[in-house]
Structure 1
Amino acid sequence: MTVAPARPASAVLTWSRDLVQPALRAAVDRLPAPMRRIAGYHLGWWDQFGDPVDAAGGKAVRPALVLLAAEASGARPDDAVPAAVAVELAHNFTLLHDDVLDRDRTRRHRPTAWAVFGVSAAILAGDALLALAADVLAGSDHPAAARVLTRALLDLVDGEHADLTFERRPDVGVRECLEMVEHKTAPLLAAACALGATFAGAPPSTVAHLHEFGRLLGIAYQHVDDLLGIWGDPAKTGKPAHTDLRSRKKSLPVVAALASDTPPGRELSTLYRRTAPPSPDDVVRMADLVERAGGRSWSRDESRRLLDEALDRLADTAPAPRPAAELAALAHLVVNRER
């Protein structure tokens, strides 16, 4: 039997969105009208008045991981669509709340939901998406799936709380910053891969290997996300330049620079301890100091190392060749976003 060639990551993401979008829209349509309007706005389907628009709705990496993990484990990707929908709903729950917690006013080149509809309404819309994710999984024939997602979300909340406490602390170590990321970012990518394998009826060892693949990829993802939060092109990220430095966020490259015990790291620490908002010149200076203190190169190196480890775990599952190659291509895309 001839095996179809692996598709590039961009084609995989398009395929995943096309496959998941109808079921995702059908799920969101079940929300009460006010929550549906906010959720649809956040997802890029319509404007604040409910009129259809063609706005960016995100890359939808997590649903693609679900579908490919299912296929790599021997199932049809269509069989895992409910899991992909649930993961995407849960992910957007976190984004709605993150924007409120971080007071970010821009996402995907548009005003954030809380900036348009208000803080309380955006929080409630996030809650609605979370409840909807649970409902979608409850309607599937995989009772263990709900536990996979809820465990991930409990970890995520723990990591988010740790991240918020970092804002009030002058000193944060690299190890505890990594532990925060392992809770905040990695669990949902790990759950996406594990859910795909679970819906495929894969043995526990396969589920575990794919979970670990997603976990390692999630940590690498955060390294790259933090690099983009400092040096990302606003035209591509949909957020203003130097966003994380303006809020003095203790992201991975920043914490590595602060812990470097170098002259640039010490100067960065002085700027981070100021109470006055940083000026435009300050944030440019901060970015330079993070780079000179080694934070940028450390996060880049770590993201590549974690990618290699993730691909080793993927190989351990003895997956179907084409979906495995596409999972690898997706992993490379995630880690190479900065470049």
Structure 2
Amino acid sequence: MTFPATARTDHELGLDAIRRARELTEPVLRELVDRLGPSLGDVGRYHFGWRSEGCGSAGKAIRPTMAVLAAEAVGAEASAAVPAAAAVELVHNFSLIHDDIIDNDELRRGRRAVWKEYGVPEAILIGDALHSEAFGVLLSSGRPNAAAAAMRLSTAMREVVVGQVDDIRFTERPWTGEQAVSVAEYQAMAEAKTGALLAFSAAAGALLGGASEAVADCFDRLGRHLGLAFQCTDDVLGIWGDPENTGKPVFGDLREGKRTLPVIAALSAGGSASERLGVLVERGVRTDFELRLAAELVAEAGGREFAEREAARHLAEVDDCLTALSMPAETRACFNALSQSLIGRTR
């Protein structure tokens, strides 16, 4: 595979890989959505941003890019990974549509969420249809190991759903005491909810490229560690991120009472700051002063440092996985660039 001569920096390499994956995957996605028929297809086109009013393609295409790079890493053409790339985009968007209903979120990427635009029944049904099409595009691909890839997708989706349930139930538990969410519980939830689909993307791309199950397992681990690094970083952003860069309000996760890694780690650390934080969050963080104080206490108790250290640890694991895998230097550089594009956005 030859990379454009202009793709020299990590940023440019990452953008080029994402562009190639999107160009390969989007025509397949459009075809699959179109065959859902005029009514349901229209709902799908709205969600993906393909309506005639000029909306661009939805999403960052990180997961399809993982699949394409994995196929190239094992010596296959990028096109070999397209069924996996399309499948992961379909199930990812299925989960987004249903999550918006569960979370009562009215906006998705700056537009009305599907359930607000078309109603809950049609939002549920388009999500179900995308989920079904994901398995169809894999099993009808004729690629070697397609059935094995479909089995991995089934496992990943079970993890995603269980992770989502755990995430919901965490909000019903107390902040402190024996019933509080532990760091280990949170990390297991994050691996399921965030890491599983990235793991599927990489493993399935390798499988469709002709790799063995053992090699696919290495790519699975790479995706999981990258997903956990992403989630750790996202949790830091959710409290201290710059709204101009993140699109989220400062202290947003604290305002919403989300159980995220910096807060959970701070509450379990012990010490004066941890105890003061526990009293504050149990009472409820409402005012701007309380939000600032809570953020300061999380940092003072070591919660921010812990989350950033965990992100760095998982990135090191990603690097170890890449070192253990034989692949062209250009592909390895693209994987590194993709990792940095996910994690470096907080810096």
Pairwise same-fold verdict (TM > 0.5):
yes
Structure 1 residue 189 corresponds to structure 2 residue 198: yes
Q: Secondary structure at the match of 1:337?
A: helix
Deviation (angstroms), 1:111? 3.0
Partner Cα separation in structure 2 for residue 267 and residue 331 of structure 1:
36
Question: For residues 225-236 of structure 1, what are the structure 2 equivalents within 5 Å?
Answer: 225-236=234-245
Partner Cα separation in structure 2 for residue 324 and residue 253 of structure 1:
31
Match of 1:333 among 330, 334, 341: 341
Identity of aligned residues (%): 42
Distance change >3 Å, CA 184–CA 41, structure 1 → 2: same
Range that drifts further, 286-295 or 235-244: 235-244
Distance change >3 Å, CA 274–CA 35, structure 1 → 2: farther
Q: How many pairs were matched up?
A: 334
Partner Cα separation in structure 1 for residue 56 and residue 288 of structure 2:
29
Deviation (angstroms), 1:104? 2.6
Residue deviations 1:78-123 (CA, integer Å, cap 9, x gap)? 1211110111111111111222222233332333223333333322
Q: Which runs of 5+ in 2 are unaligned?
A: 175-179
Deviation (angstroms), 1:296? 1.6
Residue deviations 1:43-102 (CA, integer Å, cap 9, x gap)? 2223xxxx4323462211000000000000110001211110111111111111222222
Match of 1:220 among 213, 216, 229: 229
Partner Cα separation in structure 2 for residue 117 and residue 289 of structure 1:
43
Q: Which amino acid aligns with 1:60?
A: A
Question: For residues 152-167 of structure 1, what are the structure 2 equivalents within 5 Å?
Answer: 152-167=156-171
Match of 2:33 among 28, 34, 38: 28
Residue deviations 1:121-163 (CA, integer Å, cap 9, x gap)? 3222222211111111121122211101111000111111111
Partner of 2:318: 310
Partner of 2:177: none
Q: Which amino acid aligns with 1:45?
A: W
Deviation (angstroms), 1:213? 0.7
Deviation (angstroms), 1:302? 1.0
Alignment check: 8 A CA contact 1:4 1:322 kept: no
Partner Cα separation in structure 2 for residue 239 and residue 36 of structure 1:
31
Q: Which amino acid aligns with 2:229?
A: A
Alignment check: 8 A CA contact 2:50 2:56 kept: yes
Distance change >3 Å, CA 136–CA 93, structure 1 → 2: same
Partner of 1:98: 99
Q: Output the aligned Cα RMSD.
A: 2.2
Structure 1 residue 269 corresponds to structure 2 residue 278: yes
Residue deviations 1:156-185 (CA, integer Å, cap 9, x gap)? 111111111101001111111111112111
Distance change >3 Å, CA 92–CA 237, structure 1 → 2: farther
Partner of 2:308: 300
Range that drifts further, 73-82 or 239-248: 239-248
Match of 2:46 among 29, 36, 41: 41
Partner of 1:203: 212
Q: Which runs of 5+ in 1 are unaligned?
A: none
Match of 1:151 among 155, 161, 167: 155
Range that drifts further, 322-331 or 226-235: 226-235
Partner Cα separation in structure 2 for residue 42 and residue 119 of structure 1:
14
Residue deviations 1:2-53 (CA, integer Å, cap 9, x gap)? 987775212221222122111111111122433323322222223xxxx432
Partner of 2:291: 283
Partner Cα separation in structure 2 for residue 106 and residue 68 of structure 1:
31
Alignment check: 8 A CA contact 1:108 1:239 kept: no
Q: Which amino acid aligns with 1:201?
A: G
Alignment check: 8 A CA contact 1:56 1:108 kept: no
Partner Cα separation in structure 2 for residue 4 and residue 83 of structure 1:
25
Partner Cα separation in structure 2 for residue 300 and residue 200 of structure 1:
34
Distance change >3 Å, CA 318–CA 184, structure 1 → 2: same
